[in-house]
């Protein structure tokens, strides 16, 4: 009889793959935090200044969010107990969607369990084999997966290249009719690109899309809470209200909690409620999450000074890194990569910084191209100048040790 001891492990190839990743310096261990998500926290037992969270505005530990979550849990329980379409829609869920719709100046919003679920849920739901999706080559993995799940035709345009986008749309038109042979064309871009921190050229994208009758979808995960009035995102930043058909936002980054949402017209929301698989087949947020998100919208409206501090810290930190001679790429936002190139060097740099009490995560292939390994940093509104100065001093020490500057 086969026993646990004699049975050959049919998944043994995974261990071999892991060994290969280690040999190529591409294996990423998980750092474990024992404190809350704050600028100073404890990771793997070491006190560190963290430069790698997406908690841009410090809302993850904001007392108003924490109190709202605790109160909702006491009143309504720890879980929602069902998917939204069966018995899992609470008044709180709809209240949050109404608040977000008003905040984003759109007709309607539908929330999802995460930003990932929102992207991968909306794209295949609203497209079919009769449609074409045109996507920026550096769009987020959740967009790429959403496109893979769709039966639509697909094309990729070079990063932020509006002329390249137009070439793709022209080719589609040449296949016949304004939109070619397609029922619809969906142009998708990140608002802020998550690895380089650069901003999509949305006015140009909207102009080209309009000329070809295409709709536009923007993933504003890293712009929500960061760009636009009170953190309304890139559409507000560029004053493009009414010209972007689908906005995806996350509640997991600057908003400080968890979740994602799709914002747009009422019929978009209504259709997603009927057909979007992550919405239909996955349990809704617990009351604590929803109540904390509602409190976060209040904070965004009432404490805009947090966004001011975020940008002041961003300018200070970027200027310091650039003065030291680091390559920070093309970032225009608080996401600041320190591009090292080689994944082994990025890993070494992150390790040495960690020894000096700074957590700056190395990002390597496949998240970025093989020769574009980097440390990806994000300062928050809550870092003090002393903390940022300590980070810069450590970057200088390690940069010189590793001959990067």
Ligand X SMILES: Cc1ncc(COP(=O)(O)O)c(C=O)c1O
Which residues contact ligand X (rule: CB under 6 A)? 114-116, 119, 140, 142, 190, 194, 219, 221-222, 250, 252, 260
| Min separation Cβ 361 and ligand X, Å | 13
For CA atoms 208, 224, 145, 343, give the dihedral sign. positive
Nearer to ligand X, 289 or 394 (CB): 289
Alpha helices in 184-285 (DSSP H): 202-211, 234-237, 266-275, 277-280
Q: Which of 52, 80, 135, 194 is catalytic?
A: 194
| Min separation Cβ 386 and ligand X, Å | 29
Q: Which of 93, 104, 179, 253 is catalytic?
A: 253
Residues 6+ apart with CB under 8 A from 306: 57, 58, 299, 381
Nearer to ligand X, 226 or 291 (CB): 226
- Asked about 151 being catalytic, the answer comes back as no
Looking at residue 139, what DSSP letter applies? -
Q: Which of 222, 237, 285, 318 is catalytic?
A: 222
Q: What is the CB neighbour count within 10 angstroms for residue 40?
A: 15
- Asked about 318 being catalytic, the answer comes back as no
**CA 180 to CA 194: how far, in whole Å?**
32
Nearer to ligand X, 196 or 219 (CB): 219
User: Are the C-beta atoms of residues 331 and 377 closer than 8 Å to each other?
Assistant: no
At residue 137's C-alpha, the angle toward residues 236 and 263, to 5°, is 35
Nearer to ligand X, 124 or 260 (CB): 260
**CA 291 to CA 299: how far, in whole Å?**
13
| Min separation Cβ 220 and ligand X, Å | 8
| Min separation Cβ 74 and ligand X, Å | 26
Nearer to ligand X, 49 or 221 (CB): 221
Nearer to ligand X, 219 or 303 (CB): 219
| Min separation Cβ 293 and ligand X, Å | 12
Residue 83, strand partner residues: 283
Name the residue among 279, 262, 291, 270 with its Cα closest to residue 91. Answer: 291
Give the residue at shortest CB distance from ligand X.
115
| Min separation Cβ 137 and ligand X, Å | 14
Angle separating helix axes 141-149 and 115-126, nearest 10 degrees:
30
For 380, the token pair is 């928050």
| Min separation Cβ 181 and ligand X, Å | 30
Supply φ then ψ for residue 397, to 5 degrees.
-55, -50
Residues 6+ apart with CB under 8 A from 68: 291, 292, 294, 295
| Min separation Cβ 231 and ligand X, Å | 15
Nearer to ligand X, 140 or 309 (CB): 140
Name the residue among 100, 92, 84, 101 with its Cα closest to residue 273. Answer: 84
- Asked about 222 being catalytic, the answer comes back as yes
DSSP string, 328-383: -TT--SSEEEEEEESHHHHHHHHHHHHHTTEE--EE-TTTS-GGGEEEEEE--TT-
Nearer to ligand X, 217 or 392 (CB): 217
Active site residues: 194, 222, 253
């Amino acid at each position: 009889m086969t026993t646990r001891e004699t049975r050959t492990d049919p998944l043994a190839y995974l261990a071999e793959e892991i060994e290969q990743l280690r040999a190529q310096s591409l294996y990423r261990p998980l750092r474990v935090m024992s404190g809350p998500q704050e600028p100073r926290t404890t990771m793997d037992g070491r006190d560190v200044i963290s430069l790698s969270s997406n908690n841009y505005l410090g809302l993850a530990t904001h007392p108003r969010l924490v109190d709202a979550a605790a109160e909702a849990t006491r009143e309504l329980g720890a879980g929602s107990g069902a998917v939204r379409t069966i018995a899992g829609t609470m008044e709180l869920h709809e209240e949050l969607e109404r608040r977000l719709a008003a905040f984003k100046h759109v007709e309607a919003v539908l929330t999802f369990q995460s930003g990932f679920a929102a992207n991968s849920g909306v794209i295949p739901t609203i497209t079919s084999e009769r449609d074409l999706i045109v996507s920026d080559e550096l769009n987020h993995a959740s967009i790429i997966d959403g496109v893979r799940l769709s039966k639509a035709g697909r094309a990729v345009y070079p990063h932020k290249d509006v002329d390249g986008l137009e070439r793709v749309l022209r080719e589609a038109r040449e296949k016949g009719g304004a939109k070619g042979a397609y029922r619809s064309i969906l142009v998708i871009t990140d608002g802020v690109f998550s690895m380089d921190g650069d901003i999509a050229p949305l006015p140009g994208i909207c102009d080209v899309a309009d000329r070809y009758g295409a709709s536009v979808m923007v993933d504003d995960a890293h712009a929500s809470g960061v760009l636009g009035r009170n953190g309304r995102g890139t559409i507000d930043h560029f004053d493009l209200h009414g010209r972007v058909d689908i906005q995806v936002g996350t509640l997991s980054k600057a908003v400080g909690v968890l979740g994602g949402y799709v914002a747009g017209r009422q019929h978009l929301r209504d259709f997603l409620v009927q057909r979007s698989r992550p919405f239909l087949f996955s349990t809704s947020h617990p009351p604590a999450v929803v109540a904390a998100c509602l409190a976060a919208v209040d904070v965004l409206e009432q404490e805009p000074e947090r966004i001011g501090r975020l940008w002041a810290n961003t300018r200070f930190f970027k200027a310091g890194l650039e003065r030291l001679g680091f390559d920070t790429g093309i970032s225009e936002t608080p996401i600041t990569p320190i591009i090292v190139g080689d994944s082994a060097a990025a890993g070494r740099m992150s390790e040495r910084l960690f020894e000096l009490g700074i957590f700056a995560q190395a990002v390597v292939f496949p998240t970025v191209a093989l020769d574009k390994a980097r440390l990806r940093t994000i300062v928050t509104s809550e870092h003090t100048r002393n903390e940022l100065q300590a980070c810069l001093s450590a970057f200088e020490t390690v940069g010189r040790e590793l001959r990067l500057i």
